[in-house]
């Protein structure tokens, strides 16, 4: 079975307020093994990053202005995730942003669920560990996944951490 662990970083918390994706990271799990196959891109959100979001991921407006637009990476992104099961922590957040970006495109792409299925690790974590910290950081501590390289949130690094946590939670 092919699974793709996905994470995004954004300009803020709500696409309904015009916030956009600034980074997409994906890490492949094939038959229960994390592979070296990855998808990663930064994106020009065509707007400024909220200070609170920049404090979380550290991506500056100047850096992002030089990155490709979502429309420029959509084909490669869909090709990477197509026919897989997406593994996402707090899936509603990332799926909401991806679907917002897809809807903004002139070509009718439909929703991300048209190309793959979605599994939410936050829902799984809450059922396995009710009433405790089920953030990615909390799960990494619980499952003893090394986070020393994680100074700020980053989509690709966070998928690599979540891939390890997911395999430990489901074994």
Helix (H), strand (E), coil (C) string for 26-81: EEEEECCEEEEEEEEEECCCCCCCCHHHHHHHCCCHHHHHCCCCHHHHHHHHHHHH
- 20-44 pLDDT tens trace: 999 999 999 999 999 999 999 999 9
Is 129 catalytic? The answer is no
- Give the pLDDT band of residue 111 (cuts 50, 70, 90): very high
- Give the pLDDT band of residue 18 (cuts 50, 70, 90): very high
Q: What is the pTM of this model?
A: 0.97
- Which are the contacts of 12, defined by CB distance < 8 A and separation ≥ 6? 19, 49, 50, 52, 53
- Tell me the domain boundaries of the chain: 2-169
- Give the pLDDT band of residue 105 (cuts 50, 70, 90): very high
pLDDT value for 90: 98
- Give the pLDDT band of residue 81 (cuts 50, 70, 90): very high
40: buried, middle or exposed (CB in 10 Å: 19+, 13-18, 0-12)?
A: middle
- Give the pLDDT band of residue 83 (cuts 50, 70, 90): very high
Cα–Cα distance measured from residue 53 to residue 20, given in angstroms and rounded to the nearest whole number = 11
pLDDT value for 66: 98
pLDDT value for 92: 98
Which of these, 3, 4, 26, 22, lies nearest to 13 by C-alpha position?
A: 22
Considering the four listed CATH numbers 3.40.50.720, 3.30.420.10, 3.40.980.10, 3.40.50.300, the one that applies to the domain covering 2-169 is 3.30.420.10
Q: Which residue has the tokens 């998928």?
A: 159
pLDDT value for 75: 97
- 123-164 pLDDT tens trace: 999 999 999 999 999 999 999 999 998 999 999 999 999 999
Which of these, 128, 148, 151, lies nearest to 140 by C-alpha position?
A: 148
Cα–Cα distance measured from residue 133 to residue 125, given in angstroms and rounded to the nearest whole number = 9
């Amino acid at each position: 079975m092919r699974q793709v662990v996905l994470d995004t970083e954004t300009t803020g918390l709500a696409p309904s307020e015009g916030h956009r994706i600034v980074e997409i990271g994906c890490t492949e799990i094939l038959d229960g093994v994390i592979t070296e196959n990855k998808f990663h891109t930064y994106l020009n959100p065509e707007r400024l990053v909220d200070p609170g979001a920049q404090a979380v991921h550290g991506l500056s407006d100047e850096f992002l202005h030089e990155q490709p637009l979502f429309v420029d990476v959509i084909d490669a992104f869909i090709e990477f995730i197509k026919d897989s099961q997406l593994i996402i922590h707090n899936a509603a957040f990332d799926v909401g942003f991806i679907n917002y970006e897809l809807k903004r495109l002139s070509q009718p792409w439909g929703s991300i669920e048209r190309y793959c299925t979605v599994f939410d690790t936050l829902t799984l974590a809450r059922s396995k560990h009710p009433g405790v910290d089920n953030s990615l950081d909390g799960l990494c501590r619980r499952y003893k996944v090394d986070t020393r390289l994680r100074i700020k949130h980053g989509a690709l690094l966070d998928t690599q951490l979540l891939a390890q946590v997911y395999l430990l939670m489901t074994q």
